[in-house]
Chains A and B, each alone.
Chain A
Amino acid sequence: MADFALTRRFAGRSSIADAAFKASTWCFAVLVLVLLGAVIIALIDGALMALERFGPSFVITETWNPVRETFGGRAPMLGTLITSAIAMLFGIPISFGIAVFLTQLCPVWARRPLGVGIELLAGIPSIIYGIWGLFVLAPYMQAHVQPLLIDTLGALPLIGPLFAGPPLGIGMLTAGFILGIMVLPFIASIMRDVFDTVPSMLKESAYGLGATTWEVVWNVVLPYTRVGVVGGIMLGLGRALGETMAVTFVIGNAHHLSVSLLAPGTTISAALANEFTEAVEDIYQSSLIALGLILFVITLIVLSAAKYMLIRLQSRTGT
């Protein structure tokens, strides 16, 4: 009898607690959507003035003239995409190499210190990367890397113009390079984690058939972990697209776009960080918010594309 009462009491309590718990987790989940919606509404509301005044030409014109109050976002938009692309170009192969080494080749005793070292890279605040970029990397690029690029790649047809111009040290290439270093730990540590999930049996079987390490990585490990690898890359890309301080320090902050990667440029987040505080005129502020909206849309497109790719991959392999 007493047992029965106790059970009933617990049952009653837990159902209330359960319901409360369920409701509160619901609230938290919905809160995310509400916040997202609020951000979108605030951005559109703020950008409306600029979008009405300049229309679609906002994304294709390059003029950014706070004095005459004509604004176009082409330079920062393309700057964002180009620097992120350079970052991925540096970041992905190096991260892949790191992950392969750590999971397949590295002696066991060195795994932990190396792994921790890479994760520590992720913990460095971006302003430190910016300062390091300005005072250490940029002078080095100016003195050694850029003159070399100008003399070698700059002399080639087709890609030559990409590496033309004086070696200034700072510019799109340096910014992309810093971004590449910054996304390294994100991509590398995710790749390492997913590579570790590959069952030894699969790898051992491939080795047993006489496969080389490279063949095992390329034909067994990578296909098995595809989804995780793409996810890691997208996480890195997301970081590169939105990175602000480090880029602001080394990109040169010029609102015009040159063919040369060595020339100064700007990105959306750098332009916002630079100009928002002293943007007095309404249309100036509105144009900056419109840039923010564009960045939001770019990020949304990138993430949706990534999700779509993942779904395609999964349905194709049937996993």
Chain B
Amino acid sequence: MTPTLKTVTRSLAAGALLAGLWTAAEAADISGAGATFPYPIYAKWAEAYKAKTGIGMNYQSIGSGGGIKQIKSKTVDFGASDMPLEVKDLDDAGLVQFPMVMGGVVPVVNIKGIQPGQLRLDGTVLADIYMNKIKKWNDQAIAALNPGVTLPDRAIAVVHRSDGSGTTFIFADYLSKVSAEWKAKVGANTSVEWPIGLGGKGNEGVAALTGRTDGAIGYVEYAYVKQNKQLIYALMKNKDGEYVRPESVAFQAAAANADWAKAPGYNVLLTDQPGNASWPISGATFILMYKKQDKPETAKQVLDFFAWAYKSGGQLAESLDYVPMPAKVVDLVEATWKREIKTPNGQPVWSGPAS
């Protein structure tokens, strides 16, 4: 063996050893993958949790589709999806699903002379605009909702997300609930076949196109409206007939009024929920885990992390303009963990918050 070869072999061996050590250190951490929408808050929680307990959490924001694939192939401890899985799919795969954190979707417009919160819209009008049935801002249907507001005789430019997104899913789901025609013709998914409009990439793309095009309407995540004061949001009429402002309390009201207990797999979409304070276009993002856990210790760590996030992560979530789950829902979810997530010999993995 030449000296060079020897050196190479030696360093390779050292590298392998190091890699081995590294994996050993990693094994203490928990891992998850999926939706991009909750990534900032999951990352923030992971950081705070690591500082407190020393247990790290690796979250790869590869998209909901990737998250579902990864949890099904068991390469991660939990998957995350913006769109809840159907109960049948959950049962087939042996998965449990629960909501982790919420957000809301807000329609934004660009009409000369209209201030944030001045324009009022309802579901039917919004659906008709996105189906190109209402073409101008001074249309009768819009004027009827906005007495005293002068709306221009200008064509409506419809803007939507071009990338697959949980935001689009929540928005399209709301339109499906309030408009039978939307449900029949378009439906709801992370991306849909839009009857009309321009696609912008991401919230920033939609905001840029809406902000630039006179007469435009688009939809963005609540956090985006809160951080960009120049975006002109509209008030929405909810199921109880009240016009509500997009605010944290309005999203929480929607979650609190939703009937989670009766929905298997927490397959509740927070759109068009009852309650006079509920924002009609709200939604949660979900976590997926196996019912039967081959590695109960890891599963317990994962659940401990989520329990901590429910209990102590609310403020962090609000600082990033996410909406924490209401206590009522958290209790239900924790009961589900105790009931459904089991070790191979049938014991519950998680029996209550770590003291």
- Which residues on A are within 8 Å of B, measured CB to CB? 63-68, 134-135, 138-139, 142, 166, 168-170, 248-249, 252-255, 264, 266, 270, 273-280, 284-285
| Contact present for A279 and B199 (CB under 8 Å) | no
A170-B209, A277-B66 known, 18 other contacts, Cβ within 8 Å: A64-B193, A66-B192, A66-B193, A67-B186, A67-B193, A134-B208, A168-B157, A168-B213, A169-B213, A253-B162, A253-B199, A264-B198, A274-B163, A274-B201, A276-B63, A278-B64, A278-B190, A284-B65
CA distance A248 to B188 in the complex (A): 23
Q: Are B190 and A66 in contact (CB-based, < 8 A)?
A: yes
Q: Are A65 and B193 in contact (CB under 8 A)?
A: yes
Q: How far is the CB of A271 from chain B (nearest CB, A)?
A: 9
A248 touches B64 (CB 8 A): no
Q: Given the complex, which residues of B lie within 8 Å of A253, measured CB to CB?
A: 162, 198-201
Q: Mark interface residues in B166-201 (1 if CB within 8 Å of A CB, else 0).
A: 100000000000000000001111111110011111
- In the complex, A279 Cα to B66 Cα: how many Å? 8
Question: CB-CB < 8 A to A168: which residues of B?
Answer: 157, 198, 213
Chain B neighbourhood of A66, CB < 8 A: 164, 189-193
Contact of A277 among B155, B164, B200, B209 (CB under 8 A): B164
Chain A residues with Cβ under 8 A from B209's Cβ?
170
Shortest distance from the beta carbon of A284 to any chain B beta carbon, whole Å: 8
Please list 10 pairs of residues, one from A and one from B, whose beta carbons are closer than 8 Å in the complex, sorted by A's number: A134-B205, A135-B208, A170-B198, A274-B163, A276-B164, A278-B36, A278-B83, A279-B65, A279-B164, A280-B64
Interface size on B, residues (CB 8 A): 36
Asked if B125 lies at the interface with its beta carbon under 8 angstroms from chain A, I say: no
- Tell me if B62 and A277 are in contact (CB < 8 A): yes
Taken together as a complex, chains A and B put the C-alpha atoms of A140 and B200 apart, in Å, by 18
B271 in the interface (beta carbon within 8 A): no
Q: Complex Cα distance A147/B79, Å?
A: 49
Check if B212 is an interface residue, CB within 8 A of chain A: yes
Question: B64 to A277, Cβ gap below 8 A?
Answer: yes
Chain B hits for A64, CB < 8 A: 193
A280 to B70, CA, bound (A): 12
In the complex, the answer to whether B164 meets A274 with C-beta atoms within 8 Å is yes
Q: CB-nearest residue of chain A relative to B67?
A: A280
Closest beta carbon of chain B to A276's beta carbon, Å: 7
Q: 4 smallest A-B Cβ distances: which pairs?
A: A277-B63, A278-B164, A253-B162, A253-B199
| Contact across chains for A248 and B155 when beta carbons are under 8 A apart | no
Given the interface contacts A278-B164, A278-B166, does A254 sit within 8 Å of B63 by beta carbon?
no
On chain B, the residues within 8 Å of A135 by CB distance are 208
B68 within 8 A of A: yes
Task: Report chain A residues within 8 Å CB of B198.
Answer: 168, 170, 252-254, 264
- Complex Cα spacing A253 to B206, Å: 12
Distance, CA A249 to CA B163, complexed state (A): 11
A254 contacts B192, C-beta separation under 8 Å: no
Closest residue of B by beta carbon distance from A143: B212
Q: Given the complex, which residues of A lie within 8 Å of B110, measured CB to CB? A: none
- Which residues from chain A contact B188 at a C-beta distance below 8 Å? 67
Shortest distance from the beta carbon of B213 to any chain A beta carbon, whole Å: 7
The verdict on A277 contacting B208 (CB below 8 Å), with A166-B155, A255-B193 known, is no
Name the one of B157, B163, B192 contacting A67, with C-beta atoms under 8 angstroms. Answer: B192
Contacting pair A275 B187 (CB below 8 A): no
**Could you say which of A65, A249, A254 contacts B205, with CB atoms under 8 Å apart?**
A249
Residue pair B199, A63 in contact (C-beta under 8 Å): no
- Per-position binary interface string of chain B over residues 243-274, scored 1 when its CB falls under 8 Å from any chain A CB and 0 otherwise: 00000000000000000000000000000000
